[in-house]
């Protein structure tokens, strides 16, 4: 009988210890989530010193992960296997994420530094009232080129310059259906969001006539090629062009006057977030004028932060190649969410064009 009582007491003691340990682990996990956030961003798209500064100021540790395309980011968020607290999708992907109910509405009361954003970049069509997004960086699609390696009459203020016979086998294009098909549509004076088979057919046919000038359709490899003067002309994003021009002062950049893409990358809080308060704290930190100015100096893309611009080199913010004037901005378009059917058509026409290149 005594041994049974002793055994029962031992079992009770062990269960008590296990329950206490489980509670401690659970508490520790909660504490960890409150002191940690996971940020999902494009590669090389933040000054690493600012991540350390945020942790020093708030005590919140940042786990920083990167993606190389909006589609890859979307897939990871949809799967829900990772608790991303902050992500940075582009505008058309924001529309898709809103449609699929993947985002948490922002609490603007926790984002007092939102006042630093230029109103021009707020309340845009893809997110009225900025219910889900805060703009991070913006830019354009245009042409980077080496003036010393092209004919004097080529300024690339018009898309038609890409078709010049002197550029045979000298033009590189980014490997993106929206960018290339958008260029084709804009060269015809049409919208880069066109949902019209006839217009897409015309744009593709015109792009096919550009084939003799195309050296290759590639990705990030464009940057070293242009820096090392191994390429002459490239269709690319303004931020990528800025990186090239920083390394090679011979290069120049132009946004054709017929129109082009105006893109935005944006802070959002996915529904996977485990630390919503920490996510708001991080976004608000990045909107601080001094922080934003430092980040812009590191990244090189155009900032929507008006307060930060007051702290930046005037030569940077007065450069109309990267901060287009109002007249040109009126001709720029934000990519709209085309829907799966039309996105598929854009990809099909783009593939047809790629297959025409010998």
pLDDT value at 109 more than 90: yes
173: part of which helix (H) or strand (E)?
A: strand 171-174
Q: For position 21, what pLDDT does the model report?
A: 40
How many CA atoms are closer than 13 Å to the CA of 321, on its beta-carbon side?
21
Across the range 30-34, mean pLDDT stands at 48
pLDDT value at 12 more than 50: no
Q: Alpha carbon 193 to chain centroid distance?
A: 19
Q: What is the mean pLDDT of the chain?
A: 90
pLDDT grade for 42, boundaries at 50, 70 and 90: very high
CA distance 91 to 70: 10
Q: For position 33, what pLDDT does the model report?
A: 55
142: part of which helix (H) or strand (E)?
A: strand 134-145
pLDDT value at 104 more than 60: yes
pLDDT grade for 192, boundaries at 50, 70 and 90: very high
Across the range 321-334, mean pLDDT stands at 90
pLDDT tens for 248-262 read: 999 999 999 999 999
Q: 225: which residues sit within 8 A by CB, 6+ positions away?
A: 172, 231, 234
Is residue 44 part of an annotated ligand binding site?
Answer: yes
What the block records as the tokens of 183 is 């260029």
Q: For position 76, what pLDDT does the model report?
A: 93
Q: Strand pairing partners for 266?
A: 135
CA distance 162 to 210: 8
pLDDT grade for 23, boundaries at 50, 70 and 90: very low
pLDDT value at 15 more than 80: no
CA distance 2 to 185: 90
Is residue 92 part of an annotated ligand binding site?
Answer: yes
pLDDT value at 24 more than 50: no
Q: 100: which residues sit within 8 A by CB, 6+ positions away?
A: 78
Q: Are 91 and 335 in contact (CB under 8 A)?
A: yes
Q: Are 203 and 190 in contact (CB under 8 A)?
A: yes
Q: For position 358, what pLDDT does the model report?
A: 75
What domains sit in the chain, N to C, each tagged with a CATH number?
36-138+265-323 (3.40.190.10), 139-262+334-356 (3.40.190.10)
């Amino acid at each position: 009988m005594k041994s049974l009582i002793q055994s029962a007491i031992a079992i009770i003691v062990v269960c008590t210890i296990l329950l206490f340990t489980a509670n401690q682990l659970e508490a520790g996990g909660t504490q960890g989530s409150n002191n940690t956030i996971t940020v999902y961003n494009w590669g090389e798209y933040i000054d690493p010193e600012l991540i350390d500064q945020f942790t020093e100021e708030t005590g919140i540790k940042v786990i920083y992960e990167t993606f190389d395309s909006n589609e890859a980011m979307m897939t990871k968020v949809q799967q829900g296997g990772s608790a991303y607290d902050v992500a940075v999708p582009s505008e058309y992907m924001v529309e898709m994420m809103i449609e699929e109910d993947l985002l948490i509405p922002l609490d603007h009361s926790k984002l007092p530094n939102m006042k630093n954003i230029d109103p021009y970049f707020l309340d845009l069509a893809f997110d009225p009232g900025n219910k889900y997004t805060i703009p991070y960086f913006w830019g354009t699609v245009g042409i980077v080129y080496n003036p010393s390696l092209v004919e004097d009459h080529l300024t690339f203020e018009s898309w038609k310059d890409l078709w010049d016979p002197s550029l045979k086998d000298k033009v590189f294009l980014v490997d993106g259906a929206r960018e290339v098909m958008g260029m084709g549509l804009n060269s015809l004076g049409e919208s880069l969001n066109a949902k019209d088979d006839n217009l897409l057919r015309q744009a593709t046919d015109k792009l096919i006539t550009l084939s003799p000038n195309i050296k290759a359709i590639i990705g990030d490899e464009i940057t070293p090629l242009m820096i090392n003067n191994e390429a002459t002309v490239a269709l690319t994003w303004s931020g990528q062009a800025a990186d090239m021009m920083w390394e090679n002062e011979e290069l120049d950049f132009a946004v054709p006057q017929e129109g082009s893409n105006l893109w935005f990358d944006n802070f959002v809080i996915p529904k996977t977030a485990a630390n919503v308060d920490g996510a708001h704290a991080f976004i608000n930190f990045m909107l601080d004028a001094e922080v934003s100015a430092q980040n812009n100096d590191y990244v090189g893309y155009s900032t929507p932060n008006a307060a930060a611009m007051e702290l930046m080199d005037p030569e940077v913010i007065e450069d109309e190649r990267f901060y287009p004037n109002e007249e040109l901005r009126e001709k720029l378009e934000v990519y709209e969410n085309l829907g799966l059917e039309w996105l598929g058509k854009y990809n099909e026409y783009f593939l047809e064009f790629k297959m025409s290149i010998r």
